[in-house]
């Protein structure tokens, strides 16, 4: 029989450790004080019989008080209090098998979309969709981390937690330099979607450089009764029209709003009907300006789920002009894809970025299987941060994305294969001692014989697992096969199809491939094509085979760097 149980607990330490079993039924939990005020509220799968792990609930500010740990609609009984522990700290296992070495992950719990990216006073801030109370999607909050180089991250407590309006979905942050919102000059203002009975837009502000936030008293600031999918606000200041612009995902369109004070918003225009991919819901828009030596353009990122070029989620983009009210796309054969792999989604750029080139980061997973991947205490990671460049593509423009240059400082050992003419194959059977599955491969080659049909690059290990990259020269196509890459049976959707990407015809090719335990990120010809995919080998790939079919190539660079 289900019931509500109330467990009084005198708080004597910083954390309550709560036992969790992902195979049980989810419970709603509230921590309530003596005045009947709810201090913390969340959902979790409680268990005392088959505990898989503990979640750590920070109750430091309530030390010395008695709280009521309330579990609603549960089959547990009052004896559950024997299984709730109190500890001064809780350390999660960072050494689990598939935790990457140089990609961002949360210390514990589920993550998805990057949110609220901004730079200030020497620090890059990364917020992200976060479940601090479990390794599956739920309890959507904003996690928080900072970095000085976009590689080494310092984790902070969750910045924005669910409230009366619902969970805290994706959004963005701006620095209010002129005090337009009247919270003070240079206040950090966060805009996010409150997801309760309906999706509305909310505002929170921080006066301690983004460490903690206070919700605006008159939230929500933007409502649309007619839109079910109404989310993911991304803001920037538009200097020519002297106003703030908000891009908002509205079903299968992007709606632009304008404001002078960040609180009162006017609808400007709607983009997206009859253009691009419409196989799924549009999400996580980002409109920004980009220039090269000859021209300035506006770029609009739109993530879509499903509808990606290889199934599940992906990010498409549009190039055009923005006049402060309306986005007008260039006449290009859309959709254009930011990444052709299965595992790069919801990417957005940093606000107030100090670098000349826009820089973005994405969520490295796919909704087709994100809740099922074979990790233990964390679920999902972010992609490598990447710079964005505007490039000519015939009579139109496209984007090039490349991993940030700071990654070269992670290089330690180097394995160099001599340049040579290759007509059949070359095997590098063993390239590092203490191979932890974190390395970078640089491969440049020239097609010597025009009859060359394929160049195949295969990573493999001692238990016959392999990841195959097949470059089809004749048909201008890359095929990636992860059907034998390692663990794949955790989801029927993970490796059921091969992954296809363009491989445009040219004589010289440059490949840059990053492997980090459970991920592969390939950048072709200085980032004209990017392909990101998860992998779960049961041991690190330790050998490389390069094979040429029906012709020959000249290898001009073949270098492997171990990354720390």
Confidence (pLDDT) at 176? 98
Taking CA atoms, 461 is separated from 164, 384, 433, 471, 538, in Å, by 51, 24, 14, 21, 9
Confidence (pLDDT) at 431? 87
Q: Are strands 123-131 and 109-120 parallel, antiparallel or unpaired?
A: antiparallel
Confidence (pLDDT) at 459? 98
pLDDT band at 76 (very low <50, low <70, confident <90, very high): confident
Residues contacting residue 475 through CB under 8 Å, at least 6 positions apart = none
Query: How many percent of the chain have pLDDT more than 90?
Result: 95
Give the Cα separation of 99 and 518 in Å (integer).
7
Phi, psi of 61 (to 5 degrees): -70, -10
pLDDT band at 2 (very low <50, low <70, confident <90, very high): confident
CB 48 within 8 A of CB 80: yes
pLDDT, mean of residues 199-214: 98
Confidence (pLDDT) at 77? 78
Give the Cα separation of 277 and 293 in Å (integer).
30
Give the Cα separation of 532 and 523 in Å (integer).
9
- pLDDT of 48 > 90? The answer is no
Q: Is domain 109-403 classified as CATH 2.115.10.20?
A: yes
Give the Cα separation of 366 and 343 in Å (integer).
5
Mean pLDDT of the chain: 97
Confidence (pLDDT) at 52? 93
List, for residues 275-327, the tens digit of each pLDDT value: 999 999 999 999 999 999 899 999 999 999 999 999 999 999 999 999 999 99
Phi, psi of 241 (to 5 degrees): -105, 5
Alpha-carbon torsion angle 151, 502, 338, 255, nearest 10: -170
Q: Closest Cα to residue 478, out of 526, 542, 529, 440? A: 529
Give the Cα separation of 213 and 100 in Å (integer).
30
- pLDDT of 79 > 90? The answer is no
Q: Is the dihedral angle over the CA atoms 380, 386, 390, 391 positive or is it negative?
A: negative
pLDDT band at 153 (very low <50, low <70, confident <90, very high): very high
Query: Please, is 43 exposed, middle or buried when counting C-beta atoms within 10 Å of its C-beta (0-12, 13-18, 19+)?
Result: middle
- pLDDT of 78 > 80? The answer is no
pLDDT band at 1 (very low <50, low <70, confident <90, very high): confident
Q: Is 54 helix (H, G, I), strand (E, B) or coil?
A: strand
Phi, psi of 59 (to 5 degrees): -125, 25
What amino acid positions are annotated as catalytic residues?
113
Q: What is the DSSP letter of 287?
A: E
Unique residue bearing structure tokens 């954390």: 15
- pLDDT of 50 > 90? The answer is no
DSSP 319-387: EEEE-SS-EEE-S--S-EES--SSS-EEEEEPBT--SSS-EEEEEE--TTTGGG-S-SSEE-EE---EE
pLDDT band at 220 (very low <50, low <70, confident <90, very high): very high
Structure tokens at 404: 């940030």
Locate CATH 2.60.120.560 in the chain.
410-563
Residues contacting residue 393 through CB under 8 Å, at least 6 positions apart = none
List, for residues 505-521, the tens digit of each pLDDT value: 999 999 999 999 999 99
pLDDT, mean of residues 518-534: 98
- pLDDT of 486 > 90? The answer is yes
Give the Cα separation of 10 and 68 in Å (integer).
9
pLDDT, mean of residues 148-161: 98
pTM (2 d.p.): 0.97
List, for residues 245-279, the tens digit of each pLDDT value: 999 999 999 999 999 999 999 999 999 999 999 99
Residues contacting residue 275 through CB under 8 Å, at least 6 positions apart = 318, 329, 334
Confidence (pLDDT) at 25? 92
- pLDDT of 430 > 90? The answer is no
Locate CATH 2.115.10.20 in the chain.
109-403
Minimum mean pLDDT range among 328-342, 360-374, 418-432 = 418-432
Largest CA distance in the chain: 81
pLDDT, mean of residues 359-380: 98
pLDDT band at 195 (very low <50, low <70, confident <90, very high): very high
Unique residue bearing structure tokens 């963005």: 172
Query: How many percent of the chain have pLDDT more than 70?
Result: 100
Confidence (pLDDT) at 478? 98
Q: Is 80 helix (H, G, I), strand (E, B) or coil?
A: helix
CATH number of 410-563: 2.60.120.560
Give the Cα separation of 260 and 161 in Å (integer).
27
Q: What is the DSSP letter of 222?
A: B
Element of type H or E holding 171: strand 167-176
Structure tokens at 478: 């890359």
Which long-range contacts link 280-283 to residues 24+ away (Cβ below 8 Å)?
Answer: 280/304, 280/305, 280/306, 280/307, 280/313, 281/229, 281/249, 281/251, 281/252, 281/305, 282/229, 282/249, 282/250, 282/251, 282/252, 282/253, 282/254, 283/170, 283/229, 283/231, 283/232, 283/249, 283/346
Burial profile 264-275: b = 16 or more Cβ within 10 angstroms, e = fewer: ebeebbebbeee
- pLDDT of 209 > 80? The answer is yes
């Amino acid at each position: 029989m289900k019931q509500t149980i109330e467990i009084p607990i005198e708080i004597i330490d910083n954390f309550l450790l709560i036992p969790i079993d992902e195979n049980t039924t989810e419970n709603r939990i509230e921590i309530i004080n003596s005045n009947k005020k709810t201090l913390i509220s969340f959902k979790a799968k409680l268990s005392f019989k088959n505990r898989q792990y503990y979640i750590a609930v920070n109750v430091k500010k309530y030390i010395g008080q008695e709280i009521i740990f309330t579990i609603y609609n549960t089959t547990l009984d009052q004896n559950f209090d024997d299984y709730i522990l109190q500890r001064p700290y809780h350390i999660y296992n960072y050494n689990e098998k598939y935790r990457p070495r140089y990609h961002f992950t949360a210390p514990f719990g589920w993550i998805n979309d990057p949110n609220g990216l901004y730079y200030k006073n020497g620090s890059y801030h990364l917020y992200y969709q976060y479940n601090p109370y479990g390794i599956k999607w739920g309890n959507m909050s904003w996690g928080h981390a900072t970095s000085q180089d976009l590689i080494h991250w310092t984790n902070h407590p969750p910045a924005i937690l669910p409230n009366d309006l619902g969970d805290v979905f994706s959004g963005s942050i701006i620095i209010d330099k002129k005090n337009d919102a009247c919270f003070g000059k240079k206040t950090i203002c966060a805009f996010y979607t409150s997801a309760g009975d309906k999706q509305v837009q909310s505002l929170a502000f921080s006066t301690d450089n983004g460490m903690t936030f206070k919700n605006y008293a008159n939230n929500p600031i933007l409502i649309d009764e007619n839109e079910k999918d109404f989310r993911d606000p991304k803001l920037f200041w538009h200097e020519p029209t002297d106003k703030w612009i908000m891009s908002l995902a509205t079903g299968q369109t992007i709606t632009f709003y304008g404001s002078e004070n960040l609180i009162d918003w006017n609808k400007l225009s709607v983009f997206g009907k009859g253009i691009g991919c419409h196989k799924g819901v549009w999400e996580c828009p980002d409109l920004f300006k980009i220039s090269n030596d000859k021209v300035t353009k506006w770029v609009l990122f739109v993530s879509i789920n499903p509808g990606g070029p290889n199934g599940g989620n992906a990010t498409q983009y549009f190039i055009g002009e923005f006049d402060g009210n309306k986005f007008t796309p260039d006449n290009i054969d859309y959709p254009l894809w930011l990444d052709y792999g299965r595992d790069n989604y919801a990417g957005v750029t940093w606000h107030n970025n100090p670098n000349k080139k826009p820089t973005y980061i994405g969520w490295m997973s796919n909704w087709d299987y994100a809740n099922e991947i074979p990790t233990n205490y964390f679920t999902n990671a972010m992609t490598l941060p990447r710079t964005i460049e505007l490039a000519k593509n015939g009579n139109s423009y496209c984007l090039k994305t490349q991993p940030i240059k700071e990654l070269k400082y992670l290089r330690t050992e180097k394995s160099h294969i001599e340049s040579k003419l290759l007509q059949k194959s070359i095997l590098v059977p063993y390239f590092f001692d203490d191979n932890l599955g974190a390395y970078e491969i640089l491969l440049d080659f020239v097609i010597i014989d025009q009859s060359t049909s394929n160049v195949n690059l295969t990573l493999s290990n001692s238990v016959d697992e392999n990841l195959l990259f097949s470059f089809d020269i004749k048909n201008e196509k890359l095929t990636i096969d992860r059907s034998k890459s390692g663990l794949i049976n955790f989801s029927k959707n993970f490796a059921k199809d091969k992954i296809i990407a363009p491989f445009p015809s040219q004589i010289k090719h440059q490949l840059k491939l990053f492997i980090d335990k459970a991920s592969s990120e390939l950048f072709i010809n200085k980032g004209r094509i990017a392909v990101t995919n998860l992998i779960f080998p049961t041991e690190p790939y330790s050998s490389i085979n390069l094979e040429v079919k029906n012709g020959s190539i000249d290898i001009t660079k073949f270098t492997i760097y171990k990354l720390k």
